[in-house]
Chain A
Amino acid sequence: MTGAGRVNGLAIRRIVLEQSNRAHVGHIGSALSVADVLAALYGPVLRIPAPDDPERDRFILSKGHAALALFAALHLRGWLSREQLDTYCGDGTLLGVHPERELAGVDFSTGSLGLGLSFAAGAALGARLADSPRRAFVLLSDAECNEGSTWEAVMFAAHHRLSNLFALVDENRQQALGYTRDVLDLSPLEERWAAFGWDARTVDGHDADAIAAAIADAEHRSDRPHVLVCRTVFGKGVSFMEGMIKWHYSPLSPQEFADAMREIEAG
């Protein structure tokens, strides 16, 4: 199997764990959280004939710290070799903790939170001005909605009815130092986006088929920009990571790696 058909949540998780373990780097929980969202995007959703096709859909991983999951998806699509993947976090690589646009398949560099939705709004407006059918997708973290700049872009996109813009919010309900309800309560997230004029829905963020279906449905449902609040579990698939704050940063020990791999393979 090649291309989009190879992209699935398990395959992404496998690469996330292997590469995190090899490079001894953290941000594992965030990458596992978005594995199924990326499986949907890089499976049936994104129209990308080639990474350098000017008419491709644009994708921005605004929560750049989940870059390893994106690299996994790019590898599974055949745009990133195993050799490149194995340079993750090495010296001189383009594959760092956050995505770098000089890497084929990455449209925008991110890392600092709160940038991506503005970039995506510009990409969507640019497509409209160019009379192009291409779309702009952006994946944000829920804590990224703490950033005021995110709401500047939310208002802009709604005002201009950028219906070719799709935001997906990884609602795993935790951030670097705590749970979102304790740090800066964001609830009810879907209603907040809807109140700002977006076509907003909530979906199971671990059901790639449901995510893809919701995007396909949204495209025809509304002339407003679309947001899918993806309800996810931080560290999904590894019981000792799920919902645990420490896995925002912690790398794996050899035993934890073995346990984690066994768990995801068992499903």
Chain B
Amino acid sequence: MRRPFIAALAELARREPRVLLLTADLGFSVLETFAEEFGGRFFNVGVAEQNLVGVATGLAEAGFVPFTYTIASFASMRPYEFIRNGPVAHRLRVRVIGVGGGFDYGPAGFTHHALEDVGILRTDPGITVVAPADAAQAVAALRATWDLPRPVYYRLSKDGEDPLPGLDGRFELGRAQLVSDGTDIVMIAMGGAAFEAAAAVELLAARGVSCALAVVSSFNPPPAGDLAEIMARFPVALTVEHHFRAGGVGSLACEVVAERGIACRVVRCAVDGGPDAAVGSGGFLIARHGLDREALAGRAIAALGPARS
């Protein structure tokens, strides 16, 4: 996802001279072509995430649209106070790209796993949070949000350029996208977690359960209206995210259900437990936390009750 996103950013930069790209010394094999084409508009600030956002703040005040690039856990946490007191407080066009949401940097270990970035950032209504499901949606999200007059956080998947069937690159800020419909239960997935959720939907179909799938790819504004409408149709909604249980799409779904009095039970499928020292591939870690297709299908069937199991 990151490569098509940066390619789209380069395309944007060709016609929009305000666009700049800054990295905190990450992006090997991803940023080189942008750097070569836009030498004077690309800056590697070194391993210094606070200054990355601070400099971007000063640039944005001067009218530029700086994109900052680093791994999602670094992008969202080390400079959080700079994001809050910089572009959020000043309502400036700083775009924070966090690459590798969830377990994308699986073997790199806990420091590289971004499991609370959406929760941290969506707490503040002054920053738009975007977590695209696939590359086409990421590109659509970039085109729709790059010039918003407030900061934006993009939680991008590291790899994976396959399209999510049924999404067709759709993105609309503040809206959820229904990818496939169903009649028994619904899964609501955040960003790239939609792929395992879609596979779980297929497993469920083979077992006679009709499961709808919706994608939530934007927060602030949250797609509360769409979620309310979708969840009102089902007795149970499974939220699926590569994120800690609190703060992400599961929390958002619970907020919507509680605030609107919707008769839908929310089952949050998310990362549980404290720091996990185990490393491995993203797929391994997703399964370890019960977020793989088999586990999701099992939780859906269990949630529907004995009649279905």
Could you tell me which A residues sit within 8 Å of B by CB distance? Answer: 54, 58, 101, 107-112, 114-115, 117-127, 129-130, 136, 148-149, 152-153, 155-156, 159-160
Contacts and interface: CB of A to CB of B under 8 A. Distances in A.
Interface stretch (B3-11, B53-61, B199-207, B250-258): B53-61
A123 B62 contact: yes
Central interface residue in A58, A112, A123, by most chain B CB within 10 Å = A123
A193 to B, nearest CB: 16
Interface in B229-279: none
Given A115-B86, A153-B51, A155-B46, 19 more contacts: A58-B58, A109-B90, A111-B85, A112-B85, A118-B51, A119-B55, A119-B86, A121-B54, A122-B54, A122-B56, A123-B58, A126-B58, A126-B61, A126-B64, A129-B41, A129-B59, A129-B62, A149-B50, A149-B51
A129 to B, nearest CB: 7
B306 to A, nearest CB: 55
A106 to B, nearest CB: 11
Nearest to B51: A152
Contacts of A155: 46, 48
B58 A118 contact: yes
A108 B66 CA distance: 17
18 contacts: A58-B58, A58-B61, A108-B58, A108-B61, A109-B85, A112-B81, A114-B50, A117-B54, A118-B54, A119-B61, A121-B51, A121-B58, A126-B59, A126-B63, A129-B62, A149-B51, A153-B51, A156-B51
Contact of B63 (A112, A115, A130): A130
Contacts of B43: 125, 160
Contacts of A101: 89-90
B208 interface: no
Interface string B25-66: 000000000000000110101101011011111111111101
A123 B46 CA distance: 18
Central interface residue in A108, A118, A126, by most chain B CB within 10 Å = A118
A54 B66 CA distance: 18
B62 A152 contact: no
Contacts of B64: 126, 129
A153 B79 CA distance: 13
A107 to B, nearest CB: 7
B157 to A, nearest CB: 28
Central interface residue in B20, B51, B61, B66, by most chain A CB within 10 Å = B51
A156 B85 contact: no
B146 interface: no
A104 to B, nearest CB: 15
Contacts of B63: 54, 126, 130
Given A149-B50, A152-B50, A153-B51, A122 B58 contact: yes
B171 interface: no
A130 B17 CA distance: 10
B82 interface: yes
Contacts of A125: 43, 55, 58-59
B54 A149 contact: yes
A123 B61 contact: yes
Contacts of B66: 122
B54 A153 contact: yes
Contacts of A118: 50-51, 53-55, 57-58, 82
Nearest to A154: B51
Contacts of A153: 51, 54-55
B85 A115 contact: yes
Interface string B55-95: 11111111110100000000000000110011001100000
Contacts of A108: 57-58, 61, 90
Nearest to B78: A149
Nearest to A120: B58
Contacts of A123: 58-59, 61-62
Contacts of B89: 101, 109
A58 B60 CA distance: 13
A122 B40 CA distance: 14
A261 to B, nearest CB: 35
Contacts of A152: 45-46, 48, 50-51, 54
B58 A136 contact: yes
Contacts of A156: 45-46, 48, 51, 55
Contacts of B55: 118-119, 121-122, 125, 153, 156
A149 B45 CA distance: 13
A155 B45 CA distance: 9
A237 to B, nearest CB: 31
A108 to B, nearest CB: 7
A127 B60 CA distance: 11
Contacts of B46: 152, 155-156, 159
